[in-house]
Structure 1
């Protein structure tokens, strides 16, 4: 069994629920990351997303900026958006050589049909390129509220197979969930995950503070449950769409209820374009 290389302090119990958090950025967020850097702990994992319409050089520059600022870069690889084996390996080699990348995150991507030879994340992992490049950890997606194209049994089968394949190739698996407004669904999923014998570390997706309309728009785009009852649990009435909302109640619930039965868990923040605001919120929450 490979010992997970996910965060320098992963082995010890966190001081608080936000301890050891990670977050996402896009290639356009370099200046925002610089502005937030003073509030972030050294070695904070920062995922660099793989969005359509971006130049690979922009993603490489963002990944390099993460490293230069003292954080741990984790670039995304979107399987169906990669047009060739050469494009995949060129990008992988670039982030390894220019930013010292040791961990990557793989997603299938939004297009229903692949734009190149890779239909899904398993196809990327199967190339062997990650371990050849010296990558130590691979992040894969988790879906506490289900997957639009798979039933529950298929989701567990696919997840178990990916975790086993990553470990077989000498790398450490990490599961990162889609953001959710429903802590009950996430906690139940974590218990089921451990019941399936999957002991990989999990980063639970948390929506960063944002306008209520923005939060609901991202929820609709990402297939996240946002019913009236769920949003009430989160602290939002969907009859009032004016103003901003932070994840205070959600994070409070995880702080109170996460236990040994849920295995190793940390939080992963989705800033929704407000990286500085998200980091400021985390710092204030941790201090409080």
Structure 2
């Protein structure tokens, strides 16, 4: 069984980057939350804003960030990193604070990076199966997708983990969406989506897109996250390894995704923006596309 909110509906004109970006979400850190007041004019009211759970963040800091996101007129989607939670009571305090302080009804749940769990949760599935999410009014849960795989996990392990999480959410009457790591290669993503749908998974997918950033920053984050950054892949994105100065935008990637996607083959698909060059720069880039549908020819890496 798949989650109730299994399809996001038609993505519209599949050749339009503007349509693909219409429901784009944004990822921030807790310290970025204050900057959202400065980009209200650039982001549509109600935009989903994910708040990542970084090493050293306290749950109080994340609760405060979620409240700031709500206060700025956006929809907060806090991350829960299972292995960073020290106890069942810490999860309860976290959820209680998010519910009372930010009125959240959705989360993104991930296992997290620590090799050893700090407490009783070793995976996102453990958190989902705890029963606490629905107790605190959570109706929708994001889980991770890895179009390029995971450096520590096989494809079979990733497929089983995704299936188990989606089935657990269905049993608990919660909706689901899959949010991917950021990517550079549209062809790889389209192939991954086709395989995902062939496996019977029809949850909405948010494709991770890197926001405008310096080429050196993009390569640094790709190395940290295990994202393929070969010469061939980067050339598709519009980056030459012989020219590492300047800024790269995701316009070519978004155009290729929009042209390649089809509702019948790929299901409900939208985008998720990672602002490696800063929240203001990414918000401005997104606003430009939503306002006038800027084409990649105008915004190639410079």
Q: TM-score, normalised by structure 1?
A: 0.95
The match for 2:177 is 174
Report the secondary structure of 2:41's partner residue: helix
1:152-203, CA deviations, whole angstroms, 9 ceiling, x for partnerless residues?
Answer: 2222121111111111111011100000111111110001010000010000
Q: Is 1:163 the equivalent of 2:166?
A: yes
The match for 1:98 is 101
Of 191, 196, 200, 1:197 maps to: 200
Could you tell me how far apart the structure 1 residues matched to 2:95 and 2:272 are? Answer: 23
The match for 1:134 is 137
Could you tell me how far apart the structure 2 residues matched to 1:109 and 1:232 are? Answer: 31
The match for 2:289 is 285
Q: Is 1:27 the equivalent of 2:30?
A: yes
Of 256, 261, 278, 1:274 maps to: 278
Conserved in 2, the CA contact under 8 Å of 1:25 and 1:47?
yes
Conserved in 1, the CA contact under 8 Å of 2:214 and 2:246?
yes
1:205-226, CA deviations, whole angstroms, 9 ceiling, x for partnerless residues?
Answer: 0001101110000000000000
Is there any run of 5+ residues in structure 2 with no aligned partner, and where?
Answer: 13-17, 295-302
Greater relative contact order: 1 or 2 (C-alpha under 8 angstroms, separation 6 or more)?
2
Of 42, 60, 68, 2:45 maps to: 42
Could you tell me how far apart the structure 1 residues matched to 2:149 and 2:70 are? Answer: 34
Conserved in 1, the CA contact under 8 Å of 2:83 and 2:121?
yes
1:3 Cα deviation after fit = 3.5
1:258 Cα deviation after fit = 1.0
Could you tell me how far apart the structure 2 residues matched to 1:174 and 1:45 are? Answer: 12
Is there any run of 5+ residues in structure 1 with no aligned partner, and where?
Answer: none
The match for 2:87 is 84
Q: TM-score, normalised by structure 2?
A: 0.91
Could you tell me how far apart the structure 2 residues matched to 1:44 and 1:34 are? Answer: 13
The match for 2:260 is 257
User: How many pairs does the alignment contain?
Assistant: 285
Conserved in 1, the CA contact under 8 Å of 2:275 and 2:282?
yes
Could you tell me how far apart the structure 1 residues matched to 2:285 and 2:110 are? Answer: 27
1:137-160, CA deviations, whole angstroms, 9 ceiling, x for partnerless residues?
Answer: 111000000122222222212111
Could you tell me how far apart the structure 1 residues matched to 2:241 and 2:95 are? Answer: 42
